Amino acid sequence: MDRLLVSPSPHVHAKDSTSRIMGDVCIALLPAIVVSVLFYGWAELLVLAVGAVSCVAFEWAITKFLFKEEGRFCGASALVTGLLLAMNLPVTTPWWVVLIGSLFAIGVVKMSFGGLGQNVFNPAIAARVFLLISFPTYMTDWTVTPGFIHATDAVSGATLLGRYAEGGMQAVEGLDYLQTFFYNIGGSAGEISALALLAGFVYLLCRKVVKPWITLSIFATVALISFIFNLADPATYTGPLFNLLTGGLVLGACFMATDYVTSPMSNWGGVVYGVGIGFIVMMIRYFGAYPEGVSFAILIMNMAVPFLNKWFHQKKYGRK
């Protein structure tokens, strides 16, 4: 006891840390990752591995050689970005395209704004949109590679949303929604199983890593809008179940829109943010040029976050 510490209170700390939180998100992504590898095989594993490793490597290299502050390196956070980016890409994406996506996500979207916690846009989504615009052929090739439990040969096909955008309601008639909830072949890794994603999300809720408000308000808005349109004109507009279970909605609502850094701080801000995302998603799906709009919706609402933080605050004690 020759050298005593003296510092202001509090003198103890919760066992939480940034790395532990990000680690929890990785654990929550595991069910969906396992399912995607089972369905899409080695090719999917390669995309995931390239995304994960390259994001962590870029984060490390930039903090070490550009920031020259290794203390700012948070590998777990980069790992989350890498996994989410990979889960947003078609399984046939060439490795070097994934690499470019990682560099854009970490180098441009995250680090150029100051690194962890400073970025305005969700890095994984911004990178996906960047790739979609830069490499449209690769990014809309929904060829399915042979998996371990789904041993067909490689087939090329369109996603459900793609079929709807092309052929209208007739193209998606007779869909088995229960099966779609468990698994749906076609689309990126993050679009396969709503069940696996929700299982991970429930884990995050139990670990108190995220709050449910943003996710619930996205689901509710999408369900409500599609319910109204579907009721008004069932021959033209898809219904709530279709819109909730297809595309990247579950992945986006559970894992991307809930990203701490790019979502509002307050609960009510989160609700408004979620409603905005849900609304934009449905407008793009029904009327937009792209079949799917979750990425665009989240990016657009990312821009509204500073305002939502300014307008919505927690209830203060003893104040109106």
Partner 1 sequence: MSKITFPIGGVHPADSKFAANCPIEVLPLPQVVYVSMAQHLGAPAKPVVEVGAEVKAGQVIAEPGGFISAFVHSPVSGTVKSIGPRKDLAGNNMTHIEITVQGDEWAEGIDLSDTLVTEIPQDRAFILERIQKNGVVGLGGATFPTHVKLNPAPGSKAECLIINGAECEPFLTSDYRIMLESPRQIVIGAAIMRKVLGDCPCVIGIEDNKPEAIKTMQAANAELGYDGIQIRIMKKKYPQGGEKQLIAAVMGREVGSGALPISVGAVVQNVATALAVYDAVQKNKPLVTNTLTITGDCLPQSAMHNYLFRIGMPLSYIAEYAGGVPEKAAKLISGGPMMGKAIANLDACTVKGSSSILYLSEAATRRKPQQNCIRCGRCADACPMGLEPFLLNRLYKAGDVEALEQNAAQDCIECGCCLYSCPSYIPLLDNIRMAKGQVMGVIRNRNKK
CA 254 to CA 302: how far, in whole Å?
15
The DSSP result for 103-129, as a single string, is HIIIIIIIGGGTSTTT-SS-HHHHHHH
Supply the minimum distance, in Å, between the C-beta of residue 269 and partner 1. Answer: 10
Supply the minimum distance, in Å, between the C-beta of residue 15 and partner 1. Answer: 9
Indicate the residue among 116 and 189 with the shorter CB distance to partner 1: 116
Indicate the residue among 55 and 222 with the shorter CB distance to partner 1: 55
Cα 259 to the chain's mean position, in Å?
A: 8
Supply the minimum distance, in Å, between the C-beta of residue 35 and partner 1. Answer: 28
Indicate the residue among 44 and 59 with the shorter CB distance to partner 1: 59
Map tokens 């990785």 to a residue. Answer: 26
| Angle between helix 42-61 and helix 95-103 axes, rounded to 10 deg | 30
Q: What residues contact 212, with CB distance under 8 A and at least 6 apart?
A: 205
Supply the minimum distance, in Å, between the C-beta of residue 258 and partner 1. Answer: 11
Tokens of 69: 């502050």
Supply the minimum distance, in Å, between the C-beta of residue 265 and partner 1. Answer: 5
Q: How many CB atoms lie within 10 A of CB 289?
A: 7
| Bridge partners, residue 200, by sequence | none
Indicate the residue among 54 and 77 with the shorter CB distance to partner 1: 77
Q: What is the dihedral of CA 154, 159, 164, 170, to 10 degrees?
A: 40
Nearest of 88, 82, 185, 189 to residue 131 by alpha carbon: 88
Indicate the residue among 72 and 150 with the shorter CB distance to partner 1: 72
Residues that bind partner 1 (CB under 8 A): 1, 4-14, 16-18, 20-21, 71-72, 74, 77, 114-118, 260-261, 265-266, 313-319
Tokens of 271: 């609700």
Supply the minimum distance, in Å, between the C-beta of residue 206 and partner 1. Answer: 16
Opening angle at CA 204, ends 77 and 27, nearest 5: 55
Indicate the residue among 115 and 240 with the shorter CB distance to partner 1: 115
